[in-house]
A and B are shown apart, each in its own frame.
Chain A
Amino acid sequence: MAGELIKLTAAELAAKIASGEVTAVEATEAHLARIGAVDEKINAFLHVDREGALAQAREVDAKRERGEKLGPLAGVPLALKDLFTTEGVPTTAGSKILEGWIPPYDATVTKRLKDADVVILGKTNMDEFAMGSSTENSAYGPTANPWDLTRIPGGSGGGSAASLAAHMAPLAIGTDTGGSIRQPAAVTGTVGVKPTYGGVSRYGMIAFSSSLDQGGPCARTVLDAALLHSVIAGYDEKDSTSIAQPVPDIVEAARNGSAQGMRVGVVKEFRGEGYQAGVMQRFDESVELLRELGAEIVELSCPSFTKALAAYYLIAPSECSSNLARFDAMRYGLRTGDDGTHSAEEVTALTREEGFGPEVKRRIMLGTYALSSGYYDAYYGSAQKVRTLITRDFEKAFEQVDVVVSPTTPTTAFPIGERVDDPMAMYLADLCTIPSNLAGNSAMSIPCGLAPEDGLPVGLQIIAPAMAEDRLYRVGAAVEAAFQARWGHPLLEEAPSL
């Protein structure tokens, strides 16, 4: 019974809970048991909130018994990236500097999940402050990829993606600043969506790069992602950058997948050197599949995309250098050297020295430098201009097509340790995902097969204009259904058992 429960999609599980066939407590316990059984190997969770999850589940069951109407995901367990504040539950952002911090407030996303009776199992591992593409930058050890425990699960949201792939949760929340939802989804064979910038509130989501950060849904199916997306999306008066517009009907789109008559753009800058042959093979097959599904394929050029990575690595570090300045040991988190012999300034310095990892320090220094007077125009200023050009390239593209597709990542999951000493190689993992963060539009990654050379999952990225997520879900659901018909089962069934 429990074994079957963890294989269900969120939609299926929610239906069983709503009908009374399964209780929310049973569903929660099944997933807690799975975490207990396999997470030692994966390290997807930084904190499992067993009591909190069961209390939520009991409340769902009580509501059902009282005959109250349940939301579409009531009682379904979820893994929450440790970047979102949770009142009374530790939140570390994967950093030692926040070790032991118990937030006094819930992020808006946390609150919306609770209000929708989604059961929060715990907090997932991540690259420190969401800076990384492998989850190796976590202060609490790397997360393993359930497809191959010697490989990375992507990052920064490796914990969330791995928890889905290892069936520890049917739903997860991630955040995507340069690809941290989509790249982990791609390399773990799961689904991840970066909503339009402003589509999901950032209130209570610990900031890395404020103008790029965006929380979003992670799941094993397109429909599950849509159900979760609609729970967390929508205007929030606490986030002044959140969009005061109704969210498109994404659940309807996910239920009625179709690529018929869609104009699909293939951008020629998203291929070439650095792209793994097996990844491009699966991508080209996906484009062919779209054509078979009735889509019109349009070749496009977006020349500014080649400068996206460079612009990103000026803007994101600049903003992070300011966002992370608050971690000064004065009000919360780690405090080192407070022994009566050091000044406040020294305590701050010692704490930051101990509490921040090398990648975080690298980006703080990079950003501090890029914002310095005399360099600002050349670095931050130029990067903003590139950002404008990328936005324009997308605008031009979307005059001709409804969605753009690309590989989500240039390669499949690489071995743990391979790129830790080579930041540039690490940064290349986000080559295809970064342009959407810079432009603020919406994008999704769905599985499109295994690369022949290593048998690891490959992701297909679908990009739509801002506030046009319904296109992602409509096309994504169509491709997902067509691939599963071809494979005869969901891709994750091919993952080794743990």
Chain B
Amino acid sequence: MTVTELVSYDEALASYDPVMGLEVHVELGTRTKMFCGCSTELGAEPNSQVCPTCLGLPGALPVVNKVGVESAIRIGLALNCQIADWCRFARKNYFYPDMPKNFQTSQYDEPIAFDGYLDVQLEDGEVFRVEIERAHMEEDTGKSTHVGGATGRIHGASHSLLDYNRAGIPLIEIVTKPIVGAGERAPEVAKAYVAELRELIKALGVSEARMEMGQMRCDVNLSLRPKGTEKFGTRSETKNVNSLRSVERAARFEIQRHAAVLSSGGTIIQETRHFHEDDGSTTSGRAKEEAEDYRYFPEPDLVPVAPSREWVEELRGTLPELPRLRRKRLQEEWGISDHEMQSVLNAGAVDPIVATVDAGAPADQARKWWMGELARRANEDDLELAALPITPEQIARICALVAEGSLNDKLARQTIEGVLAGEGGPDEVVEKRGLKIVSDEGALGTAVDEAIAGNPDIAEKVRGGKVQAAGALVGAVMKATRGQADAARARQMILEKLGVEG
């Protein structure tokens, strides 16, 4: 294998213009498979969720899963696609042991959804429109495990194990039109597109779209053309890039690799490539010496899918607010900057904050806790925010306790700590730890008197008009009450006692 010396990213972009095509496969979260009644539950014993149809036994026939079609149409609508009023499945013929029928039931020139777009927002707020070529329905293959080789790939393996539980699970393949004009931001656009698509799929509730579980997989097609030219170059197809970060890295690597090959006078071979998570590189898979001939033809075992316009409109009515628009609305409602919103997004805090607000907390308070204390804890424990053992309702209750003056910030933090430690709900923790604020005027008055008496110099300064100096006295009060005093009330009393206007 020849190792290509990469050219630097900037150098590559100085001479070439990248063109990308992204193909994303999404496993639908339907209860049963696309063409039979077998369960789609993950993690079952190998070959325990199979039947004559998904095993491709002689004589067995497929029947279309209506929920699968419905999900495909909703995805199409959310991607601003047109929905075919009549379309067929097609057979994609090729041999592979994990494909029971040795053809994949897919769609070819009559996809269920076509000609759409998805607007994606880049980190600096710029919106980039990615045109969608098509979204079509198909079935997943079984899973091969190659045993005995060093690489886990088929070459060098002594034997292979086949699990057909996955065979027939519904897939939607979403294909972009060539993405041009992204220039140096191409890798970022790729990542933002896949991220936005994932949010969209999740918002639609058609799949959990967990890339680490293979529920969403991305192929990155990339080619370069010399700057200022129109004709697309030869592309490479990097298969199964399975995280957002990897999508960006794979695109970046391929830009650099293509540039290196092209600038040294070489030619790019049209081939599939494998992405390596460890170093972010890609290596050659199988070369496509001639275009593979899948001998597509309309699937004669299935009747055409002809969704009525009424049904399509009914489904349009079920679409959730698009993630990008929802984010925009929330940002406005919360009154925060682009930068702050981006931080919320990066922290995965949108949904917890929304839920906390829904439970009655003010948005700024909800955001303060989720982005502060809780984000810190999640980070320390290497958990998703949503996985912390505290609910938005509990945070909302804590906010309410603060608002009514029962807790101050410091006590609230301790309450959260108690909830996270499994000591019970907020009220229970406050009760058990004795965290109620000291708002008893008598007790507070005594503490104030003691603070003034113990700090005569400072008291004198305050009397002399240096109101800011009162802070030190408040601090003394807080210290004396172990933080359980209402600081604002303490300050007010100090100023009153020293005869100064606040």
Give chain A's interface residues, CB within 8 Å of chain B: 84-85, 91, 93, 98, 101, 103-105, 107, 202-207, 209-211, 237-241, 318-319, 321-322, 325-328, 330-332, 344-345, 348, 368, 371-373, 376, 380
Contact = CB atoms under 8 A, between A and B. Distances in A.
A104 B52 contact: yes
Secondary structure type dominating chain A contacts: loop
A104 B56 CA distance: 12
A239 B162 CA distance: 27
A237 to B, nearest CB: 7
7 contacts: A98-B58, A103-B57, A210-B301, A211-B300, A328-B95, A373-B295, A380-B297
A338 B11 CA distance: 54
A84 B59 contact: yes
B63 A322 contact: no
Q: Chain B binding site: helix, strand, loop or mixed by DSSP?
A: loop
B207 interface: no
Interface in B280-304: 291, 293, 295-297, 300-303
* Residue among B95, B101, B301, B302 with the highest chain A CB neighbour number at 10 A: B301
Nearest to B64: A240
Contact of A332 (B57, B97, B103): B57
Given A210-B301, A211-B300, 5 more contacts: A91-B58, A240-B302, A241-B302, A321-B295, A373-B291
B61 A239 contact: yes
A83 B500 CA distance: 103
A353 B103 CA distance: 20
A377 to B, nearest CB: 11
B303 A241 contact: yes
B295 A85 contact: no
A108 to B, nearest CB: 9
Contact of A85 (B59, B103, B301): B59
Contacts of A202: 61
Given A240-B303, A344-B160, A371-B295, A328 B61 contact: no
A322 B93 contact: yes
Contact of A322 (B60, B62, B103, B162): B103
A84 B297 CA distance: 25
A237 B162 CA distance: 29
Contacts of A345: 95
A204 to B, nearest CB: 4
B300 A319 contact: yes
Nearest to A347: B97
Nearest to B103: A322
- The 10 lowest CB-CB distance pairs between A and B, nearest first, are A325-B102, A211-B300, A371-B295, A210-B300, A204-B59, A206-B58, A85-B59, A206-B59, A326-B56, A240-B63
A376 B294 CA distance: 11
A91 B59 CA distance: 11
Most buried by A among B58, B62, B100: B58
A300 B407 CA distance: 96
B13 to A, nearest CB: 36
Contacts of A105: 52, 57, 60
Highest count of chain A CB atoms <10 Å: which of B100, B295, B303: B295
Nearest to A203: B61
B101 A326 contact: yes
B93 A371 contact: yes
Q: Most B CB atoms within 10 A — which of A101, A206, A238, A327? A: A238
B61 A240 contact: yes
A211 B304 CA distance: 13
Contacts of A328: 95, 97, 102
Contacts of B95: 325, 328, 345, 348
Residue among B55, B91, B102 facing the most chain A CB atoms (10 A cut-off): B102
B297 A318 contact: yes
Interface in B163-195: none
Contact of A372 (B60, B61, B295, B301): B295
A368 B57 CA distance: 21
A376 B59 contact: no
A15 B280 CA distance: 79
A332 B93 CA distance: 20
B158 to A, nearest CB: 10
Interface string B430-454: 0000000000000000000000000
Contacts of A238: 61, 63
Interface string B310-335: 00000000000000000000000000
Contacts of B301: 207, 210, 240-241
Nearest to B158: A340
Contact of B97 (A85, A203, A344, A372): A344
B297 A376 contact: yes
Of B57, B291, B302, which is in contact with the most chain A CB atoms at under 10 Å from its CB? B57
Contacts of B55: 331
A174 B418 CA distance: 76
B293 A372 contact: yes
Contacts of A344: 97, 160
Contacts of A325: 93, 95, 101-103
A331 B301 CA distance: 22
A177 B59 CA distance: 15
A25 B297 CA distance: 49
A345 B301 CA distance: 27
A214 to B, nearest CB: 12
B58 A85 contact: yes
Contacts of A85: 57-59
A240 B305 CA distance: 11
A203 B63 CA distance: 11
A348 B91 CA distance: 21
A424 B57 CA distance: 32
Contacts of A373: 291, 293, 295
B365 to A, nearest CB: 55
A232 to B, nearest CB: 15
A435 to B, nearest CB: 18
Nearest to B51: A105
Contacts of B100: 326, 331
Nearest to A209: B300
Contacts of B62: 240
Given A240-B64, A325-B95, A331 B58 contact: no
B99 to A, nearest CB: 9
Contacts of B303: 240-241
A178 to B, nearest CB: 15
B295 A368 contact: yes
Nearest to A374: B293
Given A331-B100, A344-B97, A371 B297 contact: yes
